[in-house]
Amino acid sequence: MFSQQTMTTLALLLLLASCVRTYADLLDIRKYGVTPNGDITMALQKAWRDACVSMTPSKIVVPSGKYKLRQIYFMGPCKAPIEVQVNGVLKAPKNPFHLNGQYQWVRFEYIDFLNLSGNGTFHGRGKMAWKQNDCQTNKNCLKLSMNLGFGFVNNSVIQDITSKDSKYFHVNVFGCKNITFTNFKVSAPAYSPNTDGIHIGKSIKVNIINSKIGTGDDCISLGDGSKEVTILNVTCGPGHGISVGSLGKYENEESVEDLIVKNCTLKNTNNGLRIKTWPGTPITSLASDLHFEDIIMINVSNPIIIDQEYCPWNQCSKQSPSKVKISKVTFKNIKGTSATQEGVSLICSSGIPCEIVVLSDIDLRFNGTTLMTAKCVNVKPLIGMKAPTCAY
């Protein structure tokens, strides 16, 4: 299932993580006057400035301990690779207004060869913000901050760190190429609103491997322009599952292509594997070559879903069908338990029906005993071994 190109990319990125260990410049933030429980913002800015202008690889170290951190940008381009090793707990302001309306609390931008590592935690302290989140009913709701943003970051690795209790999405990946998350952890309660684990948009060659994501919304979501994404050995739950979309809400959206989700476990999630598009979309776009294989479901509501009538909070009209073309989708070797009897729901567009959707070796049981049912609209899936018969 994995292409030679994908394996080569993973190997190169993991090599970056393991071999860039000898640094001419080792920048411990304690040298910049920081003490535990103090504010680390200015020290990190100074350390980043020194590392970014260095002609040789640099390493910034945040030692064990707890530190306060205000909103911060790590901006490139820089002259050599940089590792930021966070071993402590970085704590965001509790009050969302104290982040100055910034969309990300910690943002990395225009950087090549970044390694963000360590066993530390980016703690968003989101409980106060969650109580103020009224976006379900208020289109002009308060703009809340994500924990981590990666914009135009290339050939980079994020490994071993934890994102906890973000006020909004935990991680946003935008405009990136060749970026890998490995042994990455996201932690937030199921009731935390809009706290997607990792959201990807307009990026190519994004890898999420050997990671654990528990949150209050999608564990991983792919927005438009996501291409060559590999999700491998990821445990998801709680959350809303692994989602392609939502797509088609805005004009000039780019296609989503070449997704592999393999060897993953979803536990107690609201959804499992989901593709969702808005009805009444302004222009035609494409979601193609999406492959889900070797997945374990444990008490998952709605394990397998294509929903081309996605319209949360009645924000749209279903009178006009979705114009997102979905094709070449494979669900293979999906096993476990469904919390709902309708374990497969393929609701495709009446305007542009789905094409080449394959169901093969699907063994999902409702409450662990009863075989689940399947519903198919505007699609005739190709049925392989041990797959449910669709009710049309």
pLDDT at 357 over 70: yes
pLDDT at 370 over 90: no
Q: Which helix (H) or strand (E) holds 82?
A: strand 82-86
CA distance 126 to 95: 8
Q: Which of 142-146, 279-283, 290-294, 353-357 has the lowest mean pLDDT?
A: 279-283
CA distance 232 to 211: 8
206-232 tens-digit pLDDT: 999 999 999 999 999 999 999 999 999
> Which phi and psi angles does 189 have, rounded to 5°?
-70, 160
CB-CB contact of 292 with 265 (8 Å): no
Residue 220's pLDDT is 98
Q: Regarding predicted confidence, which is higher, 141 or 297?
A: 297
CA 308-312-313 angle, 5° bins: 150
163-198 tens-digit pLDDT: 999 999 999 999 999 999 999 999 999 999 999 999
Instruction: Spell out the residues 6+ positions from residue 363 whose beta carbon is closer than 8 angstroms to its own.
Output: 334, 335, 336, 386
With cut-offs at 50, 70 and 90, classify the pLDDT of residue 387: confident
The residue among 206, 211, 198 whose CA lies nearest residue 147 is 198
Instruction: Spell out the residues 6+ positions from residue 14 whose beta carbon is closer than 8 angstroms to its own.
Output: 157, 180, 182
With cut-offs at 50, 70 and 90, classify the pLDDT of residue 16: low
Strand locations in 219-323 (E): 220-222, 227-236, 242-247, 256-267, 273-277, 285-300, 304-307
Q: In the predicted model, what is the mean pLDDT of residues 308-323?
A: 81
CB-CB contact of 251 with 222 (8 Å): no
79-123 tens-digit pLDDT: 999 999 999 999 999 988 888 668 899 999 999 999 999 999 999
pLDDT at 18 over 70: no
Distance from chain centroid for Cα 188: 14
CB-CB contact of 221 with 209 (8 Å): no
240-284 tens-digit pLDDT: 999 999 999 888 899 999 999 999 999 999 999 999 999 987 778
Could you check whether the bond before residue 238 is cis, i.e. omega within 30 degrees of 0? yes
> Which phi and psi angles does 49 have, rounded to 5°?
-60, -45
CA distance 9 to 176: 14
Using alpha carbons, list the distances in angstroms from residue 13 to 171, 269, 352, 378. Answer: 19, 30, 38, 41
Residue 13's pLDDT is 53
329-341 tens-digit pLDDT: 999 999 999 999 9
CA distance 4 to 380: 32
Q: What is the mean pLDDT of the chain?
A: 91
Catalogue the active-site residues: 240
Q: What is the 3-state secondary structure (H, E, C) of 169-201?
A: CCEEEECCEEEEEECCEEECCCCCCCCCCEEEE
Pairing verdict, β 342-347 and 304-307:
parallel
CA distance 232 to 163: 19
In the chain the domains, ranked by start, together with CATH numbers, are: 4-135+142-391 (2.160.20.10)
Using alpha carbons, list the distances in angstroms from residue 332 to 25, 261, 287. Answer: 48, 10, 18
pLDDT at 24 over 90: no
**Both structure tokens of 148:** 């981590």
Bin 333: left if φ > 0, else alpha if -120 < ψ < 50, else beta. left
pLDDT at 2 over 70: no
CA distance 5 to 61: 33
Pairing verdict, β 355-366 and 370-371:
antiparallel
**Both structure tokens of 84:** 């930021």
Query: Where do the H-state alpha helices sit in the chain?
Result: 4-19, 41-53, 127-132
